[in-house]
Structure 1
Amino acid sequence: MKKILLCIFSLSILSTTTQAQNANRTKFIADSLQAYISRALTNWRVPGAAVCIIKDNRIVLMKGFGIKELGLNNKVDENTLFMIGSNTKAFTATAVATLAAERKLSLDDKVTKYLPDFKLDNKAATDLLTVRDLLCHRLGFQTFQGDFTFYNTNLSRSEIMSKMALMKAPYGFRTTWGYTNSAFLTAGEIIPKVADQNWDIYLKEKIFAPLGMSNTLGLSVAMQKAFNRSAGHTISDNRLMAIPYANLDNMAPAGAISSTAVDMGKWVMALLNEGKVGNKQVIPQAAIAATRQPQDIVGTNEHLDGSKNFQLYGLGWFLEDYHNHRLVMHDGGVNGFVSSVTLVPEENLGIVILTNTDQNNLYEALRWEILDAYLKLPYRNYSDAYLKEYKSYTAEQGAADKKLRDSVALNPRPALSLSYYEGKFTNPLYGTVNIQRGDNNDLDMRFEHHPKMYARLQPLGANRFYVTFSDPILGKAIFPFTVQNGKVTGFKLKVADFVEMGAYEFKRQ
């Protein structure tokens, strides 16, 4: 799943450059990059990372850095598993495009041809929806819409697809790009209808095994049993901590794959060689070409040097022009991990960056640092520039959160007795939550589809409550309750944008 944790929209242009590095920028890769990464891991508080660089069919760098888990002296190596999140999408899109190249389906087939019970919130969109639409995020939904309901929950794949009919699209069908993880799940569920194999088995037999990706795992449940695996980490209340692996198998085609620097290097090498491994055509060239054809305009991407470029989306890939070079790229993020994969086909260059914390922009900084070195662009020290913005952002968020906690510490009384806020509340998409008295002057919220999770609600005065989730990924929030005629009728739920950007209206059952 592509979860955009840190959105840095503008960064000041650095005036400092290193003349020696500018004179021969490729020396940065051989002479300075590993020291740069090691220093950046410390500055960003990233426990571990793995990096692979491929240039002209040659592995330039294949190395693990740091440790697999905080507090343990277990070093990351090139075969250590990381969850790759939404970098899974390129595998799903390539698998579907392969079936199209083999004429087992068409990308312009109607989805209902394979999933006759599938529905969106309006009949016209349902009738027009194609396989291609699923793979390029143009269903009319807001980015991440529905993910709080679907992501890391106990819903099955069929239940998620059924619930998509309850999602009210804020935009017209095919009018606006909106990143939709459940659409990629749906695309993945077409594979067994055509190939008579589940998504993960098809990927293993048609992509992983032929490419020699022997350590790559299709399902998140397998990560917990793997030997050489990294733990995911996050930062909560300024404390770096290891966290449980997310259960992503109900959304597997959107983001469940775990892989290594070695295996991802084999994937990238094949993609740069138009699907060939040696003389063997493993992935049809037509399938690779199909995934790189622009389908939608995402927006404008502004870079550290002030340049602005349109960002497009193909099938499972972002597409961008960067200093007259075409980039094929994607980021991925799930609980505890963020990663990036970047291809520059004309330069025969591929970059893989895997990290085991979801609170860093190092994965992005490294991409641009390596690209700029190969493209002979000035050195800009992206890591320090991004870190400065990150620290400023987190300081602002910390100060705002401290004000809320200080308000809670004053024990403000809610407008009504706490018993008035207790009970069951429902949302048409999510389902039911139950609120009951907790410890002291608090309320406790339990979730139908997050059975292991709870939230603590502390009064802020009036009908507002300060909310902390047991899962730190969901962040902290303020839940306002609505009151009519002296009775609590509902509340508004909001989780971190990392999970879902919109809010949910819950009504008393």
Structure 2
Amino acid sequence: MTEIQAPEADTRVAIVEVGAAADAAAAAKAAWGQWPGHAMPPVRLETARPAKDGWDARAVFGYDTPPNARRAVQAVALRHGSSWTVLLFDGAEATGEKRGAALGLVSQSLRPAGYTRESFAGRTALPLTPERVEALKAFVRDGMAALDVPGVGLAFIENGKVVWEGGLGVRSLATRQPVDEHTNFMIASNTKSMATMLLAELADAGKLTWDTPVTKVYPAFRLGDDATTAATQIRHLVCACTGLPRKDMEWLFATTAQTPASDTFRQLAATQPTSRFGEAFQYNNLMASAAGYVAANLFYPGMEVGAGFDKAVGEHIWAPVGMTDSTMAFDRALAGNHASPHAVDLDGKAVVSVAGADVNRTIAPFRPAGGAWSSAHDMIRYVGLELAGGKLPDGKQLVSQKNLFERRARGVPTGQDRWYGMGLEEDMAWGVPIIHHGGDLLGFHSDMMWLPQAGVGAVILTNGDDGYALRRPLMRRLVEILYDGKPEAVADVAAAATRTRAEVAEFRGRVTQPADPAATAALAVRYSNPELGPLTVTRRGDKVDFAFTAWHSEMLTHVNTDRTISFLTVTPGLTGLDFVVGGSGGKRTLTMRDAQHEYVFTEAGG
């Protein structure tokens, strides 16, 4: 057994050579028995993964731990021949998120002794012929059916030529209108690379460098304390390397579309890094939002930064590239050819996500981090600009290669052979560089990817919550087709579909529906949290709803292993948010958490 301890000392990983075992469950149980001081909690869910990386069988175990413990526990059982190796994780949720990239390095690099990884280094890519494009489309179409994704915008480019662009499926299950190449989807975090593109143009103009202190060009910027503020450079706004954890709950619970863009800077001023600059990959949307607004202020001094960003991205990227479908205006998008977000309900069926549409609208105050709408037609031209080194089809250099490429330079590692740059990532898992970035909002999941050496790129935009499970498999399938690689992508999608169905069934079997009447009767009518705002309880017969600033959900209950009671959201797209019943100072409370923050809603008077 090999044990690895995180710097925080509250999180450990064990790699246990179990040897022969009847099955994955028996191997995992045996591994826990060999790890001194660690007990195996009750198994919540076991899901299989496809054979790959030299392993003949793989399975992942999730365990049942109470929310108040703030403990994450997992096992991964791997079989090679008749021998099992088990990777065990037991630690604090906060550390698990903070050290997620390091944990990924451990798990991704664990392979049987003597196994040689598949690599396409030095290989010449095959041409993206019509037959190969059809194979890619068929793969996506089959994946949509397996994952219950209603619609996809899809496009491919090779050597500066768009070889195919179009749509598969429908924009909405309610209207059944087909997706085409001009259908707009929310591209979410793919907006970040556009914010960094603006910074690259400003660097070309001599208005900043990547190492310029942020306060030199935007004096009102604050981050945590004075020392941290002074140390923050332009590149730090978008490198995911400053140690700032995710802080999305204020957006989810307390934001409206009318919240001013300046709220980005208010929240950052109250945020302190949880690790040193450059120490760990931690993804923070507020920093990327600030990057776009700092750029906007330099392009249009004196203009409100939200309007300035919209104008800058429109005039300095979309117009030159010919991205006429793209918009930052939610209402403009809804008035035109657009896709609707979908999520899975408690029956495992994809439905239009009403709450998703409401919450996605509230990304507006932080839109440089994820607020753009775009189409396959537009995004493949954006990928073409990246492949052309910043040169437009008419030969004009929109942005210099030097500053364009600085955005994809290897920064903090995100796993094995994977690095985050500035709004872009590089992946070398298969021996050839792939530059890409994904985007996720409620009911919308997308990715743009390109292989510079092959001159090939692709865009996938989806309107189903399980669309995330098509992104990396499409990257893999593209590589398989270009380099005649081992067929793995189809099995990856099939395993994801099976896992999704198992997760839905497990959740449904765990909760009480309708909510436990005694627990419901004990709730206050109103609660409040200083950061997340109000929570109002509404009873409708035997059902109970929690209402927040921009959305609401019916709540179901679950008795945790420590006998505490949780209320869980079930509205499609926002299923599973956990509120633990408690009390403090004679008042009733409801506590919800993300990995690194705790938010206590306290009973409010009146």
**2:484 corresponding residue in structure 1:** 376
CA contact (8 A) 2:528 2:603 kept: yes
SS of equivalent residue, structure 1 residue 281: coil
- Write the distance in 1 (CA, Å) between the matches of 2:175 and 2:159: 37
Correspondences of 1:45-444 after superposition (within 5 Å): 45-142=148-245, 145-151=246-252, 153-154=255-256, 155-196=259-300, 198-225=308-335, 227-237=336-346, 238-244=348-354, 245=357, 246-247=360-361, 248-277=363-392, 278-300=394-416, 310-360=417-467, 361-380=469-488, 382-405=489-512, 411=516, 413-414=518-519, 418=522, 421-427=524-530, 429-430=531-532, 432-436=533-537, 438-440=539-541, 444=545
Number of equivalences: 468
Gap change, CA 1:234 and 1:451, over 3 Å in 2:
closer
- Write the distance in 1 (CA, Å) between the matches of 2:510 and 2:169: 36
CA contact (8 A) 1:50 1:63 kept: yes
Deviation at 1:379, TM superposition (A): 2.4
Q: Could you report, residue by residue, the CA deviation over 1:162-209 in whole angstroms, capped at 9, with x for unpaired residues? A: 022333533234422111111111011112321116112111111111
Letter in 2 for 1:111: V
Deviation at 1:484, TM superposition (A): 4.9
**1:492 corresponding residue in structure 2:** 591
Q: Could you report, residue by residue, the CA deviation over 1:361-390 in whole angstroms, capped at 9, with x for unpaired residues? A: 12332221012211221223x134333234
Could you tell me which runs of 5 or more consecutive residues in structure 1 were left unpaired when the two chains were aligned.
1-7, 16-23, 301-309
CA contact (8 A) 1:437 1:444 kept: yes
- Write the distance in 1 (CA, Å) between the matches of 2:552 and 2:492: 36
Q: Could you report, residue by residue, the CA deviation over 1:243-286 in whole angstroms, capped at 9, with x for unpaired residues? A: 24311211110111111111112111121111112321122222
- Write the distance in 1 (CA, Å) between the matches of 2:458 and 2:267: 37
**2:109 corresponding residue in structure 1:** none
Deviation at 1:324, TM superposition (A): 2.3
- Write the distance in 2 (CA, Å) between the matches of 1:131 and 1:236: 42
Could you tell me which runs of 5 or more consecutive residues in structure 2 were left unpaired when the two chains were aligned.
1-46, 57-125
- Write the distance in 2 (CA, Å) between the matches of 1:9 and 1:110: 48
Q: Could you report, residue by residue, the CA deviation over 1:201-227 in whole angstroms, capped at 9, with x for unpaired residues? A: 1111111111111111133343122x2
TM-score, with structure 1 as normaliser: 0.83
Gap change, CA 1:503 and 1:394, over 3 Å in 2:
farther
- Write the distance in 2 (CA, Å) between the matches of 1:338 and 1:362: 9
TM-score, with structure 2 as normaliser: 0.71
Identity of aligned residues (%): 22
CA contact (8 A) 2:445 2:465 kept: yes
CA contact (8 A) 1:460 1:466 kept: no
CA contact (8 A) 1:340 1:363 kept: yes
Gap change, CA 1:167 and 1:333, over 3 Å in 2:
same
- Write the distance in 2 (CA, Å) between the matches of 1:200 and 1:424: 36
- Write the distance in 2 (CA, Å) between the matches of 1:459 and 1:345: 50
Deviation at 1:151, TM superposition (A): 4.3
- Write the distance in 1 (CA, Å) between the matches of 2:180 and 2:249: 33
Gap change, CA 1:147 and 1:405, over 3 Å in 2:
same
**1:306 corresponding residue in structure 2:** none
**1:480 corresponding residue in structure 2:** 580
- Write the distance in 1 (CA, Å) between the matches of 2:440 and 2:210: 27
- Which stretch has the larger CA shift, 352-361 or 392-401? 392-401
Gap change, CA 1:378 and 1:149, over 3 Å in 2:
same
- Write the distance in 1 (CA, Å) between the matches of 2:385 and 2:448: 13
Deviation at 1:463, TM superposition (A): 5.0
CA contact (8 A) 1:49 1:355 kept: yes
Deviation at 1:345, TM superposition (A): 0.8
Deviation at 1:136, TM superposition (A): 0.8
Higher relative contact order (CA 8 A, sep 6+): 1
Gap change, CA 1:374 and 1:502, over 3 Å in 2:
farther
SS of equivalent residue, structure 1 residue 424: strand
CA contact (8 A) 1:25 1:376 kept: no
CA contact (8 A) 2:204 2:403 kept: yes
CA contact (8 A) 1:231 1:356 kept: yes
**1:38 corresponding residue in structure 2:** 141
Q: Could you report, residue by residue, the CA deviation over 1:103-144 in whole angstroms, capped at 9, with x for unpaired residues? A: 1112222222233333222332112111110111122122xx
**1:18 corresponding residue in structure 2:** none
Letter in 1 for 2:182: N
CA contact (8 A) 2:587 2:602 kept: no
- Which stretch has the larger CA shift, 195-204 or 86-95? 195-204
Q: Could you report, residue by residue, the CA deviation over 1:369-417 in whole angstroms, capped at 9, with x for unpaired residues? A: 012211221223x1343332342344144224322226x66x4634x96
CA contact (8 A) 1:319 1:327 kept: yes
Deviation at 1:317, TM superposition (A): 0.3
